[in-house]
Amino acid sequence: MTRYPDAFIREIPKTDLHVHLDGSLRLSSLIEMARQGGIALPSYSESGMRELVFKDGYADLVEYLKGFAYTCDVLRDPENLERVAYELAIDNIEEGVFYIEPRFAPQLLMDNGGLTMERVLEAADKGLRRAKAEFNARPEVRDGSLPHFDYGIIACAMRMFGPKGFSPYYNDFFALHRYSEPMEVMRLAATEVARGVVRIRDERGIPIVGFDIAGQEAGYPAGNFREAFDFAQKNFMHKTVHAGEAYGAESIFQAITDLHADRLGHGYYLFDLEKVTDPEIEDKGRYVEDLASFIADQRVTIEVCLTSNLQTNPDLTDLRRHSFGKMLERRLSVSLCTDNRLVSNTSVSKEIRLALDSFDIGPSMLKDIIVYGFKRSFYPGPYAEKRNYVRRAITHYEAVAAKYGIEA
């Protein structure tokens, strides 16, 4: 098995295609902003927050998501949101991540005091743009020694939300549609987000490159949100869908066929036969293998989040049992991602190290995984520009590999 030094992992060009902005704050910044804004936290020390909220291990996905109540509270402030976006970009740059696609649900950060979807997206973009300008002004970037840093924003809708507690925006949305069935309200909300982010992209020039839907899969099928994703499709916006995180192959199939998914978030339960529940599927093994082959053939990329899956699936006690191994065996297009840098206490480099220590990944396969991140990104520029960017990333990867004597 090839040995990959930590320094090599640090130096190779990397991407993060699945990183939630509201789950990736610096803990020190969260505490500072909460103090300044009078927001109550269970503890105002980093060690206390690690013990009580942002743990190394979680009982389940419900516990994992509790920390977002605190992060969203502090992010309902444009200055805080700009700061967090800037710091996220800087943290990635410092570990050799050249391209990121921060995603978040702007409607979770909107309030009743003028913090509109436009202001939320503009604040995040302002912070990311500032970090990009600073890094790209460096001599080693300007002379082509390093690829430039870039980003695209992915806007999330929510599969489900309640009439109270999710956010001021959703509280009001439910109140305005109190006579409609809850599922219909959620469908309408997703369509509203899709229409909003397309308009903001076109009118404000913000690089909103993708549309996503996150939240509980079971009971909230993809087909319910077809209208929102049809609108995104017709307006040339890329689609990524949380699927297979807590539900099975059927959810993944729906994401691809009903929602036009270009990429899949997680895909963890793709090969789990027990998660296939449709009584019309008689041969579950054949169904799963056919679906995996279809995903491979269509080059639908899976955004794999190893640490996050370990933390939200208590039955996964040995990472070597993660479906990532089967994805590699079947040559699926995969990219290693963080999901949430704060909530999962991770980084892109840590995710790559976990993968290399747990699976048999040779130099050629590793290069493919890294390059898929650039190739399957929703890069905000024209296609010809993206091809040049991918080529620079590959060239840089090969130079780093040669430096460490690793075949590329």
Residues catalogued as catalytic: 245
> How far is the C-alpha of 257 from the C-alpha of 235, rounded, in Å?
18
Residue type at 328 in one-letter notation = L
SS3 string, 319-335, reads HHHCCHHHHHHCCCCEE
Chain-centroid distance, C-alpha 203: 25
What does the block give as tokens for 377? 């990104």
Buried b (16+ CB within 10 A) or exposed e, 307-342: bbbbbbbeebeebeebbbbebbeeebbbbbbbbbbb
Q: Which residue from 205, 198, 194 is spatially nearest to 227, judged by alpha carbons?
A: 194
The SS3 of residue 170 is helix
Picking from 107, 42, 95, 96, the residue whose alpha carbon sits closest to that of residue 70 is 42
Alpha helices in 237-358 (DSSP H): 249-257, 284-298, 306-312, 324-329, 348-358
Contact in structure between 274 and 244 (CB atoms under 8 Å): no
3-state secondary structure 109-139: HCCCCCCCHHHHHHHHHHHHHHHHHHHHCCH
Short-list 72, 71, 69, 66, CA closest to 53? 66
Residue 303: φ, ψ to 5°: -85, 100
Beta bridge partners, 264, equal 241, 302
List the alpha helices (DSSP H) in 95-212: 106-109, 117-136, 139-142, 168-176, 182-204
Q: Report the candidate in 284, 278, 244 with the shortest Cα–Cα distance to residue 261.
A: 244
Phi, psi (rounded to 5 degrees) for 215: 110, -175
Do residues 98 and 15 touch, judged by C-beta distance below 8 A?
A: yes
CA 325/CA 302 separation, integer angstroms: 13
